[in-house]
Each structure stands twice: as C-alpha cells, then as structure tokens.
Structure 1
C-alpha cells in the first residue's frame, strides 16, 4: 500500500498499556513500551496520560498522576514532565517483576483460574525468553482507535507469563509507534528484528504503513502474526498470518448486513490519506449491486476534515439511507453532527475496528445507528471460551478498561501465535524458539477457531499466502449501545 501521511504527530504515543503493566516489568517512552519479563516502573508524560484518558473516555489525569494497577499491585509511576524525568510526588514505583517461566506442573492452574497453556509440560524455569515485537499507528488521528490493540497485546504478555509462558518460555513484548509513517515503520521493524531480536511481529495495526514493514519482514524471514488485516499483503505474502477476515470479507459482510436492515440506497465516504481507500471505493458499486443495493452518492474526504455539510446535503438530495464510512470514528461523529444540522439522519456502516470506546458513546452516531462487520468475535459477548478468557484478562490486569473491536483483534492475534507454538509439541520447551519454528507451527494451523474468537483458520506448510476467510461477525451500535445481532456466530459468504 502506498501511504501518504498528512497526519500530525501526536505529542506522545498512546501508551494505554501503562494501565496494566505494573508488576510485570515495563519501560516506556514516546516510541516504545515493553511488556512481559523485565523490571522497572512505567514513566509517561502528562500529555500522553491525557491522550490515554481521552481515548478511553476517562477524562484527564488528576491528583498524583498515577495510573491504576491490577488489584493488589502498586499504581504505575508517571513522569511529571519535570527535568530529568522525575516521577510525580506520591506516585509509588512499580514493584519488582515476578519471575516468569516458573515451574508449571501438568494440570496446574495459573492465577485467575484460566486453564494452564502448558498443561502437558513441566517447566524448569530456565527456558529462554521469547521476544515479540508490535508495530502500530498509536499516535495521530488513528491513535485513539488503535490504542486498545497495544493494551490488549500487553495484557496478553502478562497473562501468558502468569500461565507459565509460551511452551514454558517467558514472553517479552516490545510495542512501538509508527505514527502512520511507512519509513518510520520500516525503521522500527528493522530495530525490533535486529536490535531486540524479536522472533515474530504480532498484533500489527498499521494500515497506512504496511509498505514499510512488509519488506523488512520478508528480508529477515520472520512471521507477522495477526493484526488489522486491512492491507492486501495480509493475504498475499508467505510471512503474514491473519487471525480473521480481511478487508474484502468485511466490505462484503457490511454491505449484506446493511441490505438486511432494509437500506438499499447507499452513500460512501472514503479517506484520501491512503490509496487503498480509493481502490476499495472503486470496487464497491459492483459489490453493492451484487447484494441488491445501489451506491447513489460517494465522496472522498479527509480524516482531519472538520465539517461535512456539503457531503451531507448531497447525500440527502441523492436519497442516501445508509452511509458506508471509510474513515475513523472521530470523523464519523463529525459527519453525524453535520448531517443532523440538516435534519438528515442516515444509518452508518463500517468496520468494527474504527471506533474507540469513547467514540462509540457519541450520541449522534448512536441516534443514527451504525452497523459493523468484524473479522473476530464480538467483543461485547462472553459466549465462548476465547471470549471469556479475554474478558477475564481485561478485568484482572486492567480493571475498568473497556473491551472493543481492536482490543479483541489484538488478543486473537496473540492467541494465534500461542496456537502455533502449541503445534510444535513438547519439543518447543527444550530450546529457544526461532522464527523458523514459529513458521512451522503456523503451517500446522488447521480449522483453528482460537476458542471461538475467530472463524476456522487454516494455513499450510510453505504456503505462498494465507487463504481468504469469508466469514465475519456482525455488531450494531445504537442508543442501547453495542449489540451483536447474530451473537457469536460468524456469517459466511456462500461459495
């Protein structure tokens, strides 16, 4: 994907992971968050904290500036912005990190009651660590909606270490922010794979900067496991392994859901920030016609655009009943306000990952309603073992953190890596895990649903590209909040 990046760099990266990293050992800066094995408190500046709170709908940070921690643990220390990076007075530092990779006997239960992932192994505690890297657009316009993906991946690192590690190997995760810039993403990918010695990239959320990441992954022959699955490279590269449906399936599913709701005259707004948006926009009229709908109005817009009165008026004149939104949640809220000023209340349709928890509370969007399709199971439900584990981990390590589409997608990405390691059998615990090992384990993934988090996923040894997954999950945002019209059952296109 060719990324044009007009986005302004935020004052600091959205480091929502700070809420949960106390006690597992963390280092944080504008560029990087470390989760998993290791020691040291989290230090964040006030601008970052305010952005974190805004993204999660919690308001600004007050008092000592300490972020809440998991029950029984000290709050996370934060940087006051004082010279030398002094911590806020009264904000205690995080305790020393607990040892990871401690012995886990067969059938043992980790803290929190989840089933041990190493039930067939006896861990010695001396297994080599597994280093993983995460790249995402965690600042700028996309930062608010992708922040939760960073949080979920960090929660997983804590959760898996409390469960005995990946095949007894303690996990360290480095998360970096590319700001939506392909060149910056390439630099980060290179550093993660060479300096940090990451054996895989995981939970990648970089739809505008994949063109910088993919060549680095190919050069180092390292797997990239799970992420937003928006760029075509996810289904066109031997080193990329998506954890759910891609953009084609999401578009098809969104159109079908819109028609099922009785809306057949559709409008489309799509961003100018990425060429992929334009490409998809060109294909949608034919796709809409195939499911019994008609695109009666479309327009390119900017993610930073403040007023959409002209687009709303033109769509109203064209008889638009539902607006397909190829923009982020913040822009959707501004469209709702502009249209409401004209007495025009179209339904919205988009992907489940475009909204942050705070944005989903917007009264204008809720009044109009919004249908979404997602590649992974509804984040609002606890119907399957995978969803239950996800919610339990959120409650334990980041109490008060709201589930959302990108959070559960990132969690599913980490679970896909876990499934790949499990496919290696007991031998995985006897030596350091390598990128080649992970590629082997991924090639053995067959009809894997990740405990109900995804439609059946199948890869094959030495595959040239991951097969498309034609199944999506529906969610509806209304004045009642998020609901899942089809429950936790995926809706699959007919072959």
Structure 2
C-alpha cells in the first residue's frame, strides 16, 4: 500500500504539530497504517444495533482500514437485539435525539434479562420494560491515522451494548450509545463532550480512544461533571483527574512490562528509534531509558528517524555494531515493518519492543516481525486467551455479534472499560431499577469499586468516594508475538512495577 502509506504519513506529520504531551504523540505516531476493516454495513448499522450517520471521510477511512467485516446475527437468533429502530426512536422508551453527522447512535433493545440480577421470575415484577434508557457516549479518533488501531474499540463497545441489552440492560435500563469521531482534532473532541452532554443527555463517557483530545476535553468534562470510564489510559490525565476512571495501567506500566519481558529473555542491550517530525517523540525514549536502567539493561544506541524514510540500513548497521539485542520503536507501525526489512537485509534480526494496543492485526501477520519476535505488555488480560470468565464472555459476544472480527488488545480493553461501568451500576443496588441513572449516581457507584478484577480482565481496581484522582498501579500482562502468532508467556498472571 505505498500510495496510501505515504498519504497516512503525511497526515500524521501534520497532526503531530499539535502541542500535546509526549505520551499522546507516542500513541499517534505508533498507530498502524493497516488494521481491522469495518464493512460499510457495520459502519452504517453499528453492528446492527442502531442507526448510524457518519461523515463521508470517516466512513471511507473505516471502510479501507484492513481485514474482517462484521456481521449481524440471524433474524431468528432468539438472543439477538430487535431490528434497528428508526433514527430518533427507542423501543420501550422515550424518543432519543437523532444522531448528528460524524457520530454513531446505537439504540437500546427491549430488556429481557440482566447481568447480576435476580432470576427472571423475580425480575419480572421489578422490571416493567418501560424503564428510561441509559444514554452513554464514546469519543474516539476513529478516522485519520489513528483510525485503524482505534476501530476495534468502537466495535467492541457496540457489541457490548447489543450483548448487555439482550441480557436486560443495566438495572432494567436499556443502554443507548452515542459515538462521536474527533478526527484527531482536540477542539472537535472537546466540542463532542458538549454535544453528547447537552443534545443526547449522556450520563457517562465510556471507552475513550482519543488520547490527543483528552487534555482539551477536561474543562468540558468538568463543566458537565461526566464520569469517564476507561479507554486508552496512556495519557497522564487518567491519573490526575477526579472524573477519569481507567480500567488498567498507563504508559509507564506498558513500557516497563515490555522492557522487563525483553530483559528476562536475556536482551539487556537496548536500542531506540524515534521520529524527527516532532520533538515530542523523544519523550518516549526518556521513559525507555528510565526503565531500562532500573531493570539492569542499558540503552546502547538511539537514533532519530523520519516517518517518510524508506530505508533504515544505516540505523540497522549502527545498532548491530553497538550490539543492540532489542529495538524499542518510537515510530508508527508501518515504519516498524520497514525497519525490520532493512535490518534483515543485513542478516540482523533484533528483538522488538512496542505496545500491545499499537499493533494491528495486519502488523501481527507480518512474517518479518514474527521472526524477530515482538514483546509487548497490555493493561488488561491477554486478548488471545479464553481461560477466565471475563475472557470467555468477551470472546463469545464478539463471535456471536461480530463473527470474523479478530480479538486484539484494544477491543478487550474497550470491553473491560464497559464492564467497569457495569460494576459501577451494580454497586448502586436495586434502587436504580425504579429511578433514572445519573452522572452523580454513576460517580457514587465508581467510588465503591474495590479490588475489582472484572471477572479476570484486570488486576484489582480500587477507587475511593470523591477521590482526587485514580491510582496508577502499573500492573500489566505480557504478550509476545512469535512465528506462531500471539502468545501469553505468563498466561493470566500480571506483573506490577
């Protein structure tokens, strides 16, 4: 895809002129050039759970992104949601506002059962089927250079809405989801918060995938006092703000975990490549250098590179001469594959270090990257396993409502964020069945989260009532890409730093 790759790199360079923290730049720059394809049907129907209107450029970006389409369950599927309602209507509840261009509306289904609720015989008296829908919002960079790696987070949340509504909604309230694309523009992200709060009356933002926009969103989140439940979790804002509630570790944990795995495998001489398009890229190197020293490794080589660079022979030769055993990559995903090819031409195949949520399905299939091996860490349980209750529920729902869609770190993190939201509602007790669920009540439920593992999807999560910010626990899981594909070297055991 040379033509498309050059276009993406050009767009990336323009976007990275934004004066945002190094962590945000790192995520944007490491974004894959190829990823999971979302078919036109999936984009226009929100995994067949509701009507969609989306900007043409966003639709084209999603349509051309990568691999597997999403299908809806057969009409005869007794557990599937009802047919999509017309825009602006919600079965069994008051009319919902119409979706605006650039956003996705996933309407609620009629509740039939409830996760963690009483048996159906006892439930029938409590749930009337006319409970008010619970509107929630999602904001993500679903178009532009980040679209390929964030798309699966959007799909996973849409699948979760279908899954939870088919099981009765939350505390008898069917969930309505509004999704907005910020196009990697912080001002659009901030405006989206206002739109969701004022036009759609959302009571929480769930599973955010817009790291470049989170700093700009903060004032709007505070103005409307919206709890933000889970998402990319890499920006420092997640651990500095009272209304943000991450479902996993942040950037420090991700870097430390990936390095620790490489060092434990005997790779103690570390190299680093980082982009020149913005000085913010160098911030990633600072984190790598910090943790490498703590873990008994040494950063023996580092070099700036360009994202438009096609050949890395000089960098590969210099790294080889320096004895680099494992290469950290502060560049985008397509650049990583070009680095691998250049090094292989010299007979040099260093092990690679990156982040789990920055590696697309297409990249994971690259034979060169698999031969080198790639160590990553992830804030939530390994997505390729189905060993615990949380992983099994996630895999079963994705297979049922989006068959053919590969699981990845982003989709599982998005699902974990939604499950954290479920726990917050469950913490409020049965009173929520007869009263509207509000932002304030959700904050109350989040403040009661204690040692919550989300059925095995996360290390223990604890929040406090009225907390100033979430605690950054830096506990992560290992994943390793080899010629056999993705593996979990420690299974579902997490490591804390």
Q: TM-score, normalised by structure 2?
A: 0.81
Where does the alignment leave 5 or more consecutive residues of structure 2 unmatched?
1-19, 78-82, 85-105
Pairwise mapping of residues 228-267 of structure 1 onto structure 2 (< 5 A)?
Answer: 228-267=232-271
Q: Displacement, 1:331?
A: 2.7
Q: Residue in 1 aligned with 2:343?
A: 339
Distance (whole Å) between structure 2 residues aligned to residue 303 and residue 119 of structure 1: 57
2:49 to 24, 43, 48: 24
Distance (whole Å) between structure 2 residues aligned to residue 446 and residue 31 of structure 1: 43
After superposition, the Cα gap between the structure-2 partners of 1:484 and 1:6, relative to the gap in structure 1 and judged at 3 Å, is closer
Range with greater deviation from structure 2 (139-148 or 158-167): 139-148
Q: Residue in 2 aligned with 1:481?
A: 485
Q: Displacement, 1:213?
A: 1.8
* Structure with more of its chain in helix, by fraction: 2
Contact 1:252/1:287 (<8 A) preserved: yes
**2:282 aligned with 1:270, yes or no?**
no
Q: Displacement, 1:23?
A: 4.2
Distance (whole Å) between structure 2 residues aligned to residue 414 and residue 366 of structure 1: 31
Q: Residue in 2 aligned with 1:115?
A: none
Q: Residue in 2 aligned with 1:68?
A: 71
Q: Residue in 1 aligned with 2:188?
A: 184
Residue 358 of structure 1 aligns to a residue whose secondary structure is helix
Aligned length: 441
Pairwise mapping of residues 126-275 of structure 1 onto structure 2 (< 5 A)?
Answer: 126-271=130-275
Q: Residue in 2 aligned with 1:40?
A: none
Contact 2:109/2:166 (<8 A) preserved: no
Distance (whole Å) between structure 2 residues aligned to residue 272 and residue 198 of structure 1: 40
Q: Residue in 2 aligned with 1:371?
A: 375
Pairwise mapping of residues 447-486 of structure 1 onto structure 2 (< 5 A)?
Answer: 447-486=451-490
**2:362 aligned with 1:358, yes or no?**
yes
Q: TM-score, normalised by structure 1?
A: 0.82
After superposition, the Cα gap between the structure-2 partners of 1:309 and 1:30, relative to the gap in structure 1 and judged at 3 Å, is farther
Distance (whole Å) between structure 2 residues aligned to residue 335 and residue 20 of structure 1: 39
After superposition, the Cα gap between the structure-2 partners of 1:97 and 1:191, relative to the gap in structure 1 and judged at 3 Å, is closer
Residue 214 of structure 1 aligns to a residue whose secondary structure is helix
Contact 1:327/1:354 (<8 A) preserved: no
Residue 166 of structure 1 aligns to a residue whose secondary structure is coil
Contact 2:62/2:148 (<8 A) preserved: no
Q: Residue in 1 aligned with 2:389?
A: 385
Contact 2:30/2:358 (<8 A) preserved: no
Q: Residue in 2 aligned with 1:319?
A: 323
Residue 361 of structure 2 aligns to a residue whose secondary structure is coil
1:107 to 97, 119, 124: 119
After superposition, the Cα gap between the structure-2 partners of 1:342 and 1:406, relative to the gap in structure 1 and judged at 3 Å, is same
Range with greater deviation from structure 2 (203-212 or 302-311): 302-311
Q: Displacement, 1:249?
A: 1.2
1:291 to 283, 288, 295: 295
**2:61 aligned with 1:51, yes or no?**
no
Where does the alignment leave 5 or more consecutive residues of structure 1 unmatched?
33-43, 62-66, 78-95, 110-117
Q: Residue in 2 aligned with 1:397?
A: 401
Q: Residue in 2 aligned with 1:279?
A: 283
Q: Displacement, 1:307?
A: 3.8
Q: Displacement, 1:120?
A: 10
Distance (whole Å) between structure 2 residues aligned to residue 321 and residue 135 of structure 1: 39
After superposition, the Cα gap between the structure-2 partners of 1:103 and 1:403, relative to the gap in structure 1 and judged at 3 Å, is closer
What's the CA shift string for 1:334-361, capped at 9, x where partnerless?
Answer: 2212222232211111111111112210
Q: Residue in 2 aligned with 1:424?
A: 428
After superposition, the Cα gap between the structure-2 partners of 1:336 and 1:302, relative to the gap in structure 1 and judged at 3 Å, is same
Q: Residue in 2 aligned with 1:86?
A: none
Distance (whole Å) between structure 1 residues aligned to residue 312 and residue 123 of structure 2: 55
RMSD over aligned CA atoms reads 3.1
After superposition, the Cα gap between the structure-2 partners of 1:292 and 1:141, relative to the gap in structure 1 and judged at 3 Å, is same
Q: Displacement, 1:14?
A: 7.3
2:449 to 445, 450, 465: 445
